[in-house]
Structure 1
Amino acid sequence: MYRTYGNTYFNEDVYYPARIAAENARGTVLSFVAVDENGHIAGHYALERNQKGPVAEGGQAVVDPAHRGRGLLDRMKKAALEEAARLNLIVWYADAVTVHTFTQKSNAAHGGHLTAVDLAISPKKEHFDAASDQAQRVTCLLFFHWLTAPFRGQFSSPPIIN
């Protein structure tokens, strides 16, 4: 995270390996990690399951700048979505910040449908790139994808996704 974002990534847990390990042990986060030939972490992608139910949020996505251009994000995301199917999850969703068009394209390539735009959702002081000099607050795009075909009456009421 530091090599990609400096200390600007909004979820500070990702800077502490012990926190991520604990979340994986609890099952609230499922990490998918790319490792280089020397055993160093080259990328991370997570399915976040912060609430009970058949829904996961995709996120905590990062690829070390030295390893970009090798398709690691898509390979980690593919592995995560295969695991989501094995877990019988029915939906994944993900927020993509508008300053990272690659993440948006990746979400769409993996079946995500743009369903909402959260204009200027973050505080102006929040940045998502160590070299970024953003003139305005960050906007997020919410992507949603059914992992199983929805059917009428699947839910007694619409699922709450936060």
Structure 2
Amino acid sequence: MTKFYSFHGTVTMITDLIGQNGEGDGCKKLISVQNGMGTIVNFVVSPTTHFVDHVMVAVGDRVTGYYDGNAPALLIYPPQYQALVMVKDSPYQNVKVDYFNSQLESSDGQLRLNVSPYTQIVLTNGQPFTRNPANRDLIVIYGPSTQSIPAQTTPYRIIVLC
């Protein structure tokens, strides 16, 4: 179970990440994100980073980067984290990345899923996931939700992070 932390803000810079020996093959990027209070976080984006809806991210875009809060991090400023999931803001959908238990409730107790026959459940490569999504790390894409605690929603799509 991954402990997902997130940081939301505006992309201020995207650069190629160059290795210690000066080699840079263009496969990794460093995306700098600044929030409304001026705090900056650098995300290392690799080919394994999942971009929801496979969107292209550019300077000026509003994004949320998710990273493993239990992973070791360099003690540098600005902080630098390995991005697991990147989400570009959209007015038409909400996204939650978290571990969902056997009741399909998020680990922070803020969201409960009511899966319908119309909910698309897929792997990160877009292929169908045919098992129960409970007790897994999920990317949940949803619209409206109740104002109860936990909020309840019928997701549009669930992406299973295997």
Asked if Structure 1 and Structure 2 have the same fold, meaning a TM-score greater than 0.5 normalized by the shorter chain, the answer is no
Greater percentage in helix: 1
TM-score calculated relative to the size of structure 1: 0.29
TM-score, length of structure 2 as denominator length: 0.29
